Structure 1
Amino acid sequence: MSQTNKNQKNLVAIITMFFIFAMISFVTNMAAPFGNIWGMSYNWAGMAGNLMNFTAYLIMGIPAGNMLIKYGYKKTALIALIIGAIGLGVQLLSGVVNNIFVYLLGALICGFCVCMLNTVVNPMLNLLGGGGNTGNQLVQAGGTLNSLSATATPILTGFLVGTLTKDSFPDVAPLIITGIVVFLAAFFVISAIQINEPQGDLKNVTYEKSPLAFRHCLLGIIAIFFYVGIEIATPGMMNQWISREGGFEGAAAVAGSLAGIYWFLMLCGRLISTVISGKVSTRAQMITVSTVGIALIVAAIFTGDVTTTLNIDLNIIKIENATVPLSCVFIFLCGLCTSVMWGGIFNLSTEGLGKYTAKASGLFMVMVFGGGMMPFFQDLVLVQQLGISYLNSYWLIVAMLAYILYYAIWGCKNVNKDIKVD
């Protein structure tokens, strides 16, 4: 194959993976606003959709990695897209039959979808970029589209809902239907595209060790558990806090916009990282953002009851004369920090794994369960059961950020270079 043809096929594969990255955040970010609607009837339900969505990773992570080996990247992605359309359909049905358990089933099915898609997109982009800083650069570029989709989802939901009530499901039905149509369209588009599998045939590869034999991979898997908890809980708890306790008309819309700003800043951070990753090491970026993230969340906690009036116009996000806690500003600014963590942790953790990368990707997907477990723990245990304020519950996020800082400084070093990886 000529170098030109190879580059063209790589470009098609990269664009396809970017598109899949956007679909992942669309499905994932539907859980929080729908959970807020169910939370009006069941006080434990605010983060229950997230819990089910991410519980799917616990169940599906390793099987998804095995599917990658058995069927390849393209077939695994196609299966995932069909499952995603079914999951959104079940969530739509839950609003029709007014049954929260049908909604939770739909969230679980959608979780299977995004787990499989994540298993495909991250190692493929890292490998297409040749690993190292360039591999991280591609993951961050794909993450930019992921953030764009993530920004739009809570804003659209908040706009459609306006003022949150237990009967708000019909208002957001068009968004679910749009998601189903997009999934089906993506299925046909990807079916027609030829994707060059970057790792070749994995079915006949012999694995002498487990990816867990690599210390930096093991510690990175733990870091992913905490990171996804941080990414989801940081805007999700703020969204729930302002939606429930904002005390003004249209609080749900403002809360959705505040969460949208967080995701928009994640987009900005990933754009910046895409530009600088060829020159600034992944490790240096991770140390910086985890340190700043800790400082921002601590500032949010100590700001307390201080309020500020926000007037923000970012075209896609508008907030007019809304009086909200100043803490919200520090919280959504944290999006700049969390923006690079997923790609950074994945890049550092899989560096030097070679043939073990696909299996490691499956293990990573298992630990994405942290995105359901940690926010649910923060909401149900800390806030609902122990009566800790929403703001003070953010100490949990500070602790998780501290672990990521430890990983970036010390834990990411590969001390197992004696293991054969080719």
Structure 2
Amino acid sequence: MSQKQKQWGAIIVMIALFAMIAFVTNLCTPMAVIVKNQFGASNVLAQIGNYGNFIAYLLMGIPSGILLKRIGYKKTALLALLVGIVGIFVQYMSGWESIGGFGLYLVGAFVAGCCMCMLNTVVNPMLNILGGGGKKGNQLIQTGGVFNSSAAVACYILMGALIGEASKAKISDATPALFIALGIFIVAFVVILFTRIEEPEQQVEVKSAEKDKYSAFSFRHFKLGILAIFLYMGVEVGVPNFMQQYLVAAPTDATPGLGIGAGTAGCIVAVYWFMMLIGRFVGASIGGKVSSRLMITTVSITTLVLVAFGMFTPQNILVSVPGVDWANVEMIWQEVPVSIFAFLLVGLCTSVMWGAIFNLAVEGLGKYTSIASGAFMTMVFGCAVMQAIQAWVADLTGSYLVSYVVVLFCAAYILFYALVGFKNVNKDIPVE
């Protein structure tokens, strides 16, 4: 019974961290609206927060895996939270007129990204291990994803309300959200410090004169899996990110949009993350019965259909989409092109992709799992790359909708991974 209680304590803590990751990470997309206005940035430069946040994964992925192996899950999480506190505070300072600026904001986003990478490196393998791997491990990751999506919804609604009119938005407008994030980090640090977490048993390394000729990268399905995560980030973040830019951009801008107020747009985009929440509820409930491969196959095909529909449907076909006006606590409805509704539904698909891809990519790695988790996190920097490419396409073509061709490419590769790339063809490699 004691063992079980300790295990559930660890599960609750890991799920709470999963929620924190979403809140802080998703600050970057609405902040792009602020950066574009305050610093007069192009679509490419407006994504500077996403670049800083996700490029941090490239540098911290492997070190995070090493930290996990050397100091354990709890100490790695505590160190990550300290890094996060610094990152959020630096972003807050970037809004100060005396010392603030574009460069300082980028530094803050990068430091916060290092924190997110470290936390992700802890949370995903821990939940997979606590669930026992396989379908049960995937189910527990999907459960954590439910809380992850809830935090993302809260972030978009809050930031939409704080930004107000996009043309007048400044970093200082986001101060309440930054202070909430800062408070969450501090409380989490205290809670985790005094929570007893039973560490998964680490493989004891036996020193040998011979260097291990194998590694996680000796497994084809792992290498293809981390590429799938690299491109997955272009789907998960690219869809809502450029949907928000399209909603708030004025019809007269170089890259024209619908000219909807940032508050209303934030409520609409929050529906995407609410769809992810619903999808993760479903994923968590069926994760113990449905294979990760079947999940990825189904949702990647659906993503391709929805994104193509959104890109090529005439913009004069309108539909009302819901939002919530939290200031007056009432439901609001906004008429938008039906393409926006299609993009919102993509959230149902991306909801289960992360956990399912991770589950397939590390399956059968044994002693290489810890380092593999760090390498896996490194590929999250794909968000920075794919956002830059999609922003470049938007600038080049003068169309946010055309830029979604980047999302189509990413979804097509994920489908390939589900059909072919997931197979472990290296079962002859010893993993004990």
TM-score under structure 1 normalisation? 0.95
1:382 and 2:397 aligned: no
Percent identical pairs in the alignment equals 45
For residues 418 and 275 of structure 2, the distance between their equivalents in structure 1, rounded to whole angstroms, comes to 22
Residue from 267, 270, 276 that aligns with 1:257: 267
Give the drift of 1:304. 3.3
- The count of aligned residue pairs is 417
For residues 215 and 21 of structure 1, the distance between their equivalents in structure 2, rounded to whole angstroms, comes to 28
1:407 and 2:406 aligned: no
Q: Could you say which residue in structure 2 is the equivalent of 1:66?
A: 66
Residue from 165, 182, 185 that aligns with 2:184: 182
1:235 and 2:240 aligned: yes
Q: Indicate the SS of the match to 1:95.
A: coil
Residue from 113, 120, 123 that aligns with 2:122: 120
Distance 1:129 1:357, change over 3 A: same
Contact 2:247 2:260 in 1 (8 A): no
For residues 215 and 284 of structure 1, the distance between their equivalents in structure 2, rounded to whole angstroms, comes to 20
1:421 and 2:431 aligned: yes
Distance 1:104 1:303, change over 3 A: same
For residues 391 and 311 of structure 1, the distance between their equivalents in structure 2, rounded to whole angstroms, comes to 18
Give the drift of 1:166. 4.4
TM-score under structure 2 normalisation? 0.93
1:33 and 2:38 aligned: no
Q: Which moved more, 1:388-397 or 1:59-68?
A: 388-397
For 1:292, give the aligned amino acid: T
Residue from 321, 326, 331 that aligns with 2:338: 326
Give the drift of 1:45. 2.8
Give the drift of 1:200. 3.1
1:276 and 2:278 aligned: no
Contact 2:307 2:404 in 1 (8 A): yes
Residue from 162, 165, 168 that aligns with 1:163: 165
Residue from 151, 154, 159 that aligns with 2:153: 151
Question: CA offsets per residue over residues 22-59 of structure 1, 9 Å max, x none?
Answer: 01111100111112101112224321110110000011
Residue from 7, 10, 15 that aligns with 2:7: 10
Q: Indicate the SS of the match to 1:45.
A: helix
Distance 1:70 1:408, change over 3 A: same
Q: Which moved more, 1:164-173 or 1:408-417?
A: 164-173
Q: Could you say which residue in structure 2 is the equivalent of 1:360?
A: 372
Question: CA offsets per residue over residues 94-152 of structure 1, 9 Å max, x none?
Answer: 11134011111100000000000000000111111111000000000001110100111
Q: Indicate the SS of the match to 2:397.
A: coil
For residues 281 and 12 of structure 1, the distance between their equivalents in structure 2, rounded to whole angstroms, comes to 27
Contact 2:145 2:277 in 1 (8 A): yes
1:21 and 2:26 aligned: no
Residue from 186, 191, 194 that aligns with 2:193: 191
Contact 1:162 1:250 in 2 (8 A): no
For 1:27, give the aligned amino acid: V
For 1:383, give the aligned amino acid: A
Q: Could you say which residue in structure 2 is the equivalent of 1:370?
A: 382
Distance 1:300 1:19, change over 3 A: same
1:92 and 2:79 aligned: no
Q: Could you say which residue in structure 2 is the equivalent of 1:111?
A: 113
> Alpha carbon RMSD of aligned pairs, Å?
1.8
Give the drift of 1:226. 0.2
For residues 278 and 184 of structure 2, the distance between their equivalents in structure 1, rounded to whole angstroms, comes to 25
Contact 2:389 2:406 in 1 (8 A): no
Give the drift of 1:258. 2.1
Distance 1:233 1:248, change over 3 A: closer
For residues 229 and 249 of structure 1, the distance between their equivalents in structure 2, rounded to whole angstroms, comes to 25
Residue from 283, 301, 313 that aligns with 1:303: 313
Contact 1:50 1:376 in 2 (8 A): no
Residue from 342, 346, 350 that aligns with 2:358: 346
Contact 2:224 2:417 in 1 (8 A): yes
